[in-house]
């Protein structure tokens, strides 16, 4: 149906739109395509369409979204608008899954009869689309994660630079007390307080020069007014926008003139820096600019402390996630162990008894019964191969794959592989031809692994050969670093031979 090059182009697409374009090109080369659509199962919308102005009626969309397996059906009178747009056409519906969840439906519309009756030939196309969806999804998630990490790094670097401008410490209390002392000294003030909000109240978190420090827990009305104003404000004096008498705490401290600066970072105002003078003082623009700089250091210190709390919480969450991952890994190992014990061993017994019956009751068993038993035996062997592949994948992922190297015969390896594939080849009437095996030298390798590779190659050769033969050629190569080369190729109708090489070093 679709050649491997086209499938590979779909899989390697940079995004889902490019994958859809490759899909259209691939299918157009195989059948007279009239239209193509990709539907999101989540909201039922059409994500991609070809041609660009192509459309399907809501009734048809609702129908195809409920398909759970590949299907072909004609566009008939039940959908008159669609049938008139795509006359004498059939629709091929290919569900697309991601992580065992259906995420979309690929709808292909072509001339009636173009898709054939055997839809298995279209399965690789559905799988390629699913792989492209999966890869593009992972890429998008990774890019979003990288952007988030990049943003956090930039913020951390900015906070670190501002923190170093005050002092080389991450201790919030120490930094805020330094800010308070520097503010009093640089601005010539009598006292300074740093305030921040929590639980809907304003609290003093650092101070210097107070006479009534024991009153630090009360709600400071001046600090709240500065936070609400979100701008610098002068208190008292001839230019003050606020009067000292309105704020009892600062009146008790003897304030004559004061300056309030909001603590703002990234558009969020969460506290205030208050500078108090117990004598008349004319606050200048330079004082305000300097106070804003110092308030910025205080804001960074508070934000930095909150960031560290967030990191600690995140670390705690990661520890929990890591523990859950370990539990999941252990569960997976137990699962694979149970597969080996509960499935593979009984399956081997089933295959053994089937083979025994087939080998010893050839003349006694009715032809139909023998035919059905052979089919059951082939299915059991296929299931055993799948179970072995699953176990091998788990070993490879765990880095526990083992090779049993020993001297062995190429003929024995080929005979074992051919015996496994022979029933499927006989059912399709495809001859299996071998040449050069008797002249091949002995090998030192793992025969079981090599046989498994050959079974996979030959299985694909038989599967994708409709007419012709499957040939296995064995030859000794001149390269001294190579021991042998085995090749399997299939020739089907309108196909040139395609050698599949296995190199054993």
- pLDDT for 494 equals 43
Q: What is the pLDDT of residue 495?
A: 45
Q: Please, which residues have CB within 8 angstroms of residue 446's CB and are 6 or more apart in sequence?
A: 403, 404, 405, 406
Q: What local confidence, expressed as pLDDT, does residue 256 receive?
A: 94
pLDDT at 453 over 80: yes
Work out the pLDDT band at 502, boundaries 50, 70, 90.
very low
Report the C-alpha gap between 458 and 463 in whole angstroms.
8
The three-state DSSP-derived secondary structure of 377-439 is HHHHHHHHHHHHHHHHHHHHHCCCCCCCCEEECHHHHHHHHHHHHHHHHHHHCCCEEEECCCC
So where are the chain's domains? Answer: 4-142, 165-311, 406-504
The pLDDT value given to residue 301: 76
Which fold is adopted by the domain 406-504? Heat Shock Protein 90 (3.30.565)
Q: Which residue has the higher pLDDT, 162 or 464?
A: 464
CB 337 within 8 Å of CB 400: no
Of residues 308 and 499, more confidently modeled: 308
Backbone angles phi, psi at 291, to 5 degrees: -65, -35
Q: Is the pLDDT of residue 255 over 90?
A: yes
CA neighbor of 489 nearest in space, from 463, 504, 503, 469: 469
Spell out where 42-115 has E strands: 46-50, 71-74, 89-98, 101-111
CB environment 445-458: b (16+ within 10 A), e (fewer): bbbebbbbbbbbbb
The whole-number pLDDT of residue 505 equals 27
| Angstrom distance (rounded) from CA 129 to CA 455 | 27
Instruction: Note the pLDDT tens digit of each residue in 95-132.
Output: 888 777 888 888 888 888 888 877 777 878 878 888 88
* Residue 499 scores a pLDDT above 60: no
- What does the pLDDT average to over 282-287? 89
pLDDT tens-digit map of 206-223: 899 998 766 544 547 888
pLDDT of residue 290: 84
4-142 has CATH 1.10.730.10 classification: no
pTM above 0.85, yes or no: no
The count of other CB atoms within 10 Å of the CB of residue 124 is 17
Query: How sure is the predictor about 275, in pLDDT bands with cuts at 50, 70 and 90?
Result: very high
429 φψ region: left (φ > 0), alpha (ψ -120 to 50), beta (else): left
119 or 248: which leads in pLDDT = 248
Q: Are 110 and 34 a contacting pair, CB within 8 Å?
A: yes
- Span 47-77, pLDDT tens digits: 889 888 888 888 888 888 888 888 888 888 8
Q: Please, which pLDDT band fits residue 191 given cuts at 50, 70 and 90?
A: very high
> pLDDT tens digits for 288-332?
988 888 888 788 777 777 777 788 888 889 999 999 988 887 887
Using pLDDT thresholds of 50, 70 and 90, give the confidence band for residue 346. Answer: confident
Token pair, residue 262, equals: 């909001």
Averaged pLDDT score across all residues of the chain: 80
Rounded to a whole number, what is the largest CA-CA distance in the chain? 121
Q: What is the pLDDT of residue 382?
A: 72
CATH number of 165-311: 3.30.450.40
Residue 92 has pLDDT above 80, yes or no: yes
Domain 4-142 identical in fold to domain 406-504: no
Higher pLDDT, 469 or 294: 469
- 7-40 pLDDT tens trace: 777 777 777 888 888 888 888 888 888 889 988 8
360 burial via Cβ count (<10 Å: 0-12, 13-18, 19+): exposed
Cβ atoms 76, 59 nearer than 8 A: no
Which H helix or E strand runs over 442? Answer: none
Angle of helix 410-428 versus helix 447-463 axis, rounded to 10: 20
Specify the 3-state DSSP secondary structure of 88: coil
């Amino acid at each position: 149906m679709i050649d491997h090059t086209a499938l590979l182009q779909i899989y390697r697409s940079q995004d889902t739109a490019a994958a859809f374009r490759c899909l259209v090109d691939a299918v157009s080369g195989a059948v007279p395509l009239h239209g193509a659509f990709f539907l999101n199962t989540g909201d039922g919308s059409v994500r991609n369409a070809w041609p660009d102005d192509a459309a399907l009626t809501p009734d048809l969309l609702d129908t195809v979204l409920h398909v759970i397996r590949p299907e072909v059906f004609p566009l008939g009178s039940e959908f008159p608008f669609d049938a008139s747009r795509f006359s004498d056409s059939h629709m091929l519906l290919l569900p697309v899954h991601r992580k065992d969840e259906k995420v979309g439906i690929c709808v292909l519309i072509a001339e009636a009869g173009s898709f054939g009756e055997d839809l298995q030939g279209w399965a690789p196309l559905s799988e390629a689309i699913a792989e492209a969806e999966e890869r593009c999804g992972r890429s998008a998630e990774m890019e979003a994660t990288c952007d988030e990490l990049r943003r956090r790094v930039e913020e951390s670097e900015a906070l670190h630079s501002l923190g170093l401008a005050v002092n080389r410490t991450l201790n919030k209390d120490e930094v805020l007390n330094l800010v308070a002392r520097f503010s009093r000294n640089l601005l010539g003030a009598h006292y300074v307080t740093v305030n921040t909000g929590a639980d809907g109240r304003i609290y003093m978190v650092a101070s210097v020069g107070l006479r009534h420090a024991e009153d630090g827990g009360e709600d400071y009305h001046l600090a709240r007014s500065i936070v609400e104003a979100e701008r610098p404000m002068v208190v008292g004096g001839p230019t003050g926008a606020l009067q000292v008498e309105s704020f009892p705490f600062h009146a008790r401290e003897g304030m004559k003139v004061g300056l309030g600066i909001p603590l703002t970072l990234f558009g969020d105002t969460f506290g205030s820096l208050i500078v108090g003078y117990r004598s008349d003082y004319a606050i200048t623009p330079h004082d305000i600019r300097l106070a804003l700089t110092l308030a910025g250091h205080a804001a960074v210190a508070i934000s930095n402390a909150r960031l560290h709390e967030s990191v600690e919480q995140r670390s705690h969450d990661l520890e929990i996630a890591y523990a859950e991952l370990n539990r999941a890994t252990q569960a997976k190992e137990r699962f694979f162990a149970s597969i080996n014990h509960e499935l593979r061993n009984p399956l081997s017994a089933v295959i053994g008894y089937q083979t025994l019956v087939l080998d010893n009751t050839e003349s006694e068993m009715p032809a139909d019964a023998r035919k059905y038993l052979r089919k059951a035996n082939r299915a059991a062997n296929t299931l055993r191969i799948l179970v072995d592949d699953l176990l091998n994948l788990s070993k490879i992922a765990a880095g526990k794959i083992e090779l049993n190297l020993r001297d062995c015969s190429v003929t024995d390896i080929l005979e074992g592989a051919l015996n496994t594939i022979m029933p499927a080849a006989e059912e399709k009437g495809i001859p299996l031809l071998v040449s050069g095996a008797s002249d091949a030298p002995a090998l030192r390798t793992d025969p079981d692994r090599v046989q498994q590779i050959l079974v996979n190659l030959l299985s694909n050769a038989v599967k994708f050969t409709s007419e012709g033969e499957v040939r296995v050629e064995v030859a000794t190569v001149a390269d001294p670093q190579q021991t042998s080369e085995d090749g399997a190729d299939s020739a089907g109708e309108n196909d040139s031979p395609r050698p599949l090489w296995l190199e054993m070093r």
